[in-house]
Amino acid sequence: MTRGNASAFTGAMSPSVRLQEMIRVIRGARTQGEERGVIQRECAAIRAQFRQADNGTRSHNLAKLLYVHMLGYPAHFGQMECVRLIASPRYNEKRVGYLGAMMLLDEKQDASLLITNSIKNDLSHSSQYVQSLALCTLGCMGSAEMCRDLAPEIDRLLRASNSYIKKKAALCAVHIVRKVPELGELFTPASRSLLSEKNHGVLHGAVVLITELCERNPDTLEQFRKAVPELVQIMKGLVMSGYSPEHNVAGISDPFLQVRILRLLRILGRNNDTASDAMNDLLAQVATNTDSSKTAGSAVLYETVLTVMDIKSESGLRVLAVNILGRFLLNNDRNIRYISMTSLQKIVQTDHNAVQRHRGTIVDCLKDQDASVKRRALELSLALVSAVNIRSLMKELLLFLSSCPPELRAHTTSGIFNAAERYAPSQRWHIDTILHVLTTAGGDVRDETVPNLIQLITTATELHCYTVHKLYRALITDISVQSLVQVACWCIGEYGDLLLRGECEETEPVQVAEDDVLDALEMVLQSHMSSPATRGFALTATMKLSTRITHNVDRIRSIVSIYGSCIDVELQQRAVEYNALFKKYDHMRAAVLERMPVIDKSSPGHTNGESAGGSIKEMEPTKLTQEVVLPQGPANQVCDLLDLLGGSGEPLQPSPALSTTALGPVSSTAGGDLLDLLGGLDVTPVPPSVIVYEKNGMTLKLQTDKQTDTGMTITLTATNSTDRDITSLTLQAAVPKSVQLQMKAPSGDVIPAHGLGQVTQTVLLNNPNMVSLKMRVRVCYTSQDFVCQDTVQIDSFPSPAW
């Protein structure tokens, strides 16, 4: 084909050369400032030209403006020019006008409505190339209104036109259905008949359209299941056909069409035995005969595997599919290994044993250089952990942790902790594993790790000596990892006497004097690397040692009194209180600082209404008992939710809890607030659906439905009466501790304007202890370009509540 450079805008030489000349001048600019100067001049000239009457250069000027726009400069003043050019009778002007419309106008601009009429006219133009411009533009940027207006036209073109137009109309219809789902019904009849077309472009468009219709409407899906045999035939034709130069890609006949048909078959065969049976043979044939030496073949095989795993296929076929994935896993091409692991991830729950067979290769992929492959291998490895392979797999995971990319560290540590929690073969192994992680990546662990580890240590009573020795050694080596230092300080404070005894069964004992231990703690206290929380741990530990050592109590006394004037308010408070303990309450000191009882892992209802003198509830709340399923990563949401319940805004950390409990009755933290919350509750029945939040035109309604004695489903519905869509809507909820909460995925995060649509989110609650139900909901959304965040407390629920 020709080199289509200057010939684009022929006729007078000057206008076309000016476009390329301008590009050349801009590229020749040596500095940003120079470039800006050139562009400002050009834009001024273009603007002047736009204002003039039609002089045959409009399309060139718009083209220049589009180039400037691509460089990142503002070009909104060209929007009206696009509208004008589209209405021009000249094809070259229309062409650039439509291009400009697709680049500068989108459905959010008012000017886009102005082209609706032109599009309408052009859709019935005598030249198919003009029709095609209109179709392409509508299919790329048509707004919902435009789509509603023009849908009947598109339907007409779907039925009666040549294949060039039909295929474009089909994709235009796809866009319309995406924008206005109700219009799907309009296109269903025409799309069915398109399946008998021979032209690949039309066939492809038809399959895409049918896929879209079936995904949105279960009735349509039911209808199109009858088309499975026809689709199978088409697919067979493609697979068995000889070499067709027009459609051949690396030995595969039209892989694009094959993949789309397989995708449609997947949707049609899902959860349906008849449809799945009808496609079984075909899938087996494709799986066996497709040559996967090049990407095109692998793409088809990949789609086939996805389809086989998703429909109700025979077990033989499933085995075939998993074997293909296994083969892919050994492929040299990283891309193939990547998608193999992605697919295996999808089936690791349902076909666990089959995937386990490939564990070795998957674990090897952890060592791959590529970050994407590493990430996939990590996810899959974590999913493959079981009681049987925990020891060997954990070795690999810990090895991976020491060299893994920074963005994966947090995920790896939390994955390792979860796996250790579920499958630890022994307590010592569990403690060792956590300590290993803290030493390697202590900066990337979640906040709850510290209290969780402490809780674990207390339960492993026979290992106290071993643990404190290990932690002491770690502490004197390195005090930079805060989580490790905190745990070490706590242990030394608690079990320091075991350390000083100088004997230990499980490990080589250290020979330390009391001064050495106090030196270590003081080093932590004084180091600038220690966070305030860590220093709190160290101070409390030092205090506790006063009842566990014999000779150096005076040293402790002096440390404590020095910190009584520390600038850090938290440390100062503690030091003053400990000082008081030494002076006025010395008779209580031994009792207050005695060894802690074994902490129970929190269970639902455990913290409600209980306040045993010695039991330290505040240690537990950081281990969340409620399950909140939210779109973003877990760690942040956990903390946010605790904020929601805390009310007082106090961040939940173990150290403040420890300090307050040293001195008397259990003081209130999140647990306490909640107890207050639950006292004196009056539940007044209200009508089933109640408005819980109304602001800025955003309304949130709540509806309840009692499912079981203890279970309830709540539906939150958000509507929008403003004239602009509300976007980025997120809802978070918190309930009292004993109530279990599960949030389902929301229906969307955009609330259409003018009350045209709504977003719903279902919340499942389980209240086994039948406590009075309260809920706090935090709403977060963007409206009129402002980000709004509000918290709503719901004290009373519509009956049938409790």
Residues 536-555 that bind another protein (CB under 8 A): none
- 3-state class (DSSP) for residue 478: coil
Q: Which is nearer to another protein, 369 or 461 (CB)?
A: 369
- Using CB under 8 A as the binding rule, whether residue 701 contacts another protein is answered as no
Task: Supply the minimum distance, in Å, between the C-beta of residue 336 and another protein.
Answer: 8
Q: With helix as H, strand as E and coil as C, how does 163-231 read?
A: HHHHHHHHHHHHHHHHHCHHHHHHHHHHHHHHCCCCCHHHHHHHHHHHHHHHHHCHHHHHHHHHHHHHH
- 3-state class (DSSP) for residue 777: strand
- 3-state class (DSSP) for residue 746: coil
Task: Supply the minimum distance, in Å, between the C-beta of residue 232 and another protein.
Answer: 19
Terminal-residue alpha carbon distance, the chain: 77
Task: Supply the minimum distance, in Å, between the C-beta of residue 430 and another protein.
Answer: 32
The string of DSSP codes covering 554-607 is: HHHHHHHHHGGG-SSHHHHHHHHHHHHHHHT-HHHHHHHTSPPPPPPPP-TTSS
Q: Which is nearer to another protein, 400 or 495 (CB)?
A: 400
Residues 234-253 that bind another protein (CB under 8 A): 246-247, 249
Near another protein by CB under 8 A: residue from 36, 47, 84, 90:
90
Near another protein by CB under 8 A: residue from 223, 323, 335, 762:
335
Residues 199-228 that bind another protein (CB under 8 A): 200-201, 204-205, 208
Q: Which is nearer to another protein, 7 or 511 (CB)?
A: 7
Residues 616-635 that bind another protein (CB under 8 A): none
Q: How are beta strands 786-794 and 775-783 bridged, if at all?
A: antiparallel
- Using CB under 8 A as the binding rule, whether residue 78 contacts another protein is answered as no
- Using CB under 8 A as the binding rule, whether residue 92 contacts another protein is answered as yes
- Using CB under 8 A as the binding rule, whether residue 108 contacts another protein is answered as yes
Task: Supply the minimum distance, in Å, between the C-beta of residue 192 and another protein.
Answer: 19
Please give the size of the binding site for another protein, defined by CB under 8 A: 87
Q: Which is nearer to another protein, 127 or 288 (CB)?
A: 127
Which stretch of DSSP H or E encloses residue 76?
A: none
- Using CB under 8 A as the binding rule, whether residue 321 contacts another protein is answered as no
In angstroms, the CA 269 to CA 308 distance is 9
Task: Supply the minimum distance, in Å, between the C-beta of residue 417 and another protein.
Answer: 23
Task: Supply the minimum distance, in Å, between the C-beta of residue 687 and another protein.
Answer: 37
Task: Supply the minimum distance, in Å, between the C-beta of residue 584 and another protein.
Answer: 59
CB 429 within 8 A of CB 466: no
Rg of the chain over all Cα atoms, to the nearest angstrom: 34
Near another protein by CB under 8 A: residue from 58, 375, 548, 737:
375
CB 743 within 8 A of CB 793: no
- Using CB under 8 A as the binding rule, whether residue 405 contacts another protein is answered as no
Q: Which of 186, 209, 203, 280 is nearest to 247 (CA)?
A: 203
CB 655 within 8 A of CB 700: no
Q: Which is nearer to another protein, 202 or 533 (CB)?
A: 202
- Using CB under 8 A as the binding rule, whether residue 679 contacts another protein is answered as no
In angstroms, the CA 777 to CA 791 distance is 6
Near another protein by CB under 8 A: residue from 151, 194, 373, 630:
373
Near another protein by CB under 8 A: residue from 295, 356, 579, 722:
295
Residues 10-39 that bind another protein (CB under 8 A): 10-11, 20, 23-24, 27
Q: Which of 623, 626, 581, 574 is nearest to 602 (CA)?
A: 623
In angstroms, the CA 295 to CA 756 distance is 44
- Using CB under 8 A as the binding rule, whether residue 96 contacts another protein is answered as yes
CB 297 within 8 A of CB 250: yes
Near another protein by CB under 8 A: residue from 66, 235, 424, 751:
66
- Using CB under 8 A as the binding rule, whether residue 254 contacts another protein is answered as yes
Write phi, then psi, for 184 (nearest 5 degrees): -55, -40
Q: Which residue has the tokens 């035995």?
A: 273
Residues 122-151 that bind another protein (CB under 8 A): 125-127, 129-130, 132, 135-136, 139-141
Task: Supply the minimum distance, in Å, between the C-beta of residue 215 and another protein.
Answer: 9
Applying CB under 8 A, the span of 166-174, 350-358, 479-487, 787-795 interacting with another protein comes to 166-174
Q: Which of 758, 740, 584, 750 is nearest to 663 (CA)?
A: 584
